[in-house]
Amino acid sequence: MARASGARPVVGVLALQGAVREHVAMLERAGARAVPVRRAAELSEVDGLVLPGGESTTMSRLLESFALLEPLRARIGDGLPVFGSCAGMILLARQVLDGRPDQQQLGGLDVVVRRNAFGRQVDSFEVDLDFAGVAGGPVHAVFIRAPWVEKAGAGVEVLATVASPGPQDGDPGPGDAGTRIVAVRQGSVLATAFHPEITGDERVHRLFVELVREA
Ligand code: GLN
């Protein structure tokens, strides 16, 4: 297993599909050395990994064809720090609602997510969020066909919520309080339903790089 090289840990970005370049740029600004990961050998070299946004069903299929599914599950099970944004959050979830039946999960996060959850009301929206653990004011969050966390296990810390866009169709849970969970942390696994890589604000990536250093 790789070791954090001093203060500048090596953080991989899963580079099968999605917003890879944006995460690489933000990780570099946040104090990491960022490398794309496409093969199991590359995965074994990193101290932490970002799973970017994109399309979780496509990424699940590509993980299988690139023979990364099992190696990735194993490293996450071993405690590899991982940050999933949007589709990445979906991949990390224990269970997905409104997914495809053949969609594979990496695990690591004891949450149930609903895929394309906001899509019934709005496809994309932007909002300023209070984000626990991120100092310096609200984080501007861009949601693109985003999931939300419908249920979070006892070991999961809720870092950010967003006002529910309207009455939901009968599903009880966090939405009853008029809010939806959109950022969580469980140990060194971090996930956001939104895309902090595209706003020019690297504070969420800094938080993740800090988790990688601590691991
Ligand atoms: N809706 C996509 C999915 O199901 C996620 C969208 C995104 O990553 N921006 O994977």
The atom number, within ligand 1, closest to the CA of 18 reads 8
* Pocket test residue of 23, 51, 83, 86 for ligand 1, highest count of atoms within 8 A of CB: 86
- Least Cα distance to 171 among 102, 212, 113 occurs for 113
Domain total in the chain: 1
- Please give the Cα distance from 123 to 69 (Å, whole number): 29
Q: Give domain status of residue 4, yes or no.
A: no
pTM of the entire predicted model: 0.92
Distance 155 CA to ligand 1 centre (A): 25
Q: Is the pLDDT of residue 172 over 80?
A: no
Output the CA 54–ligand 1 centroid distance in Å.
Answer: 5
pLDDT at 1 exceeding the cut of 70 = no
Confidence band of 191 (pLDDT split at 50, 70, 90): very high
Residue 25 has pLDDT above 90, yes or no: yes
First to last CA, the chain: 12
C-alpha 110/C-alpha 128 separation (Å) is: 26
Contact present, 159 and 129 (Cβ < 8 Å): no
Per the domain annotation, does 59 fall within a domain?
yes
* Residue that the structure tokens 């203060």 belong to: 7
- Domain of residue 48 covers 10-214
Tell me the pLDDT band of 176, cut-offs 50, 70 and 90. Answer: very low
Q: Residue 191 has which token pair?
A: 């996930």
Indicate which CATH number applies to the domain containing 179: 3.40.50.880
Confidence of residue 5 (pLDDT cuts 50, 70, 90): very low
Q: Is residue 28 part of a domain?
A: yes
Residue 165 has pLDDT above 70, yes or no: no
Most confident segment among 60-64, 123-127, 177-181: 60-64
What phi-psi label fits residue 163: left (phi over 0), alpha (psi between -120 and 50 degrees) or beta?
beta
The C-alpha atoms of residue 36 and residue 46 are separated, in whole angstroms, by 10
Residue 1 resides in a domain: no
Q: What is the pLDDT of residues 80-128, one digit of tens each?
A: 999 999 999 999 999 999 999 999 999 999 999 999 998 765 688 999 9
Averaged pLDDT for residues 204-209: 98
Model pLDDT, residue 121: 59
Average per-residue pLDDT for the chain: 91
Q: Is 170 inside any structural domain?
A: yes
In a domain, 2, yes or no: no
**Could you tell which of 20, 60, 61, 116 is best to mutate to test the pocket of ligand 1, judged by most ligand atoms within 8 Å of the CB?**
116
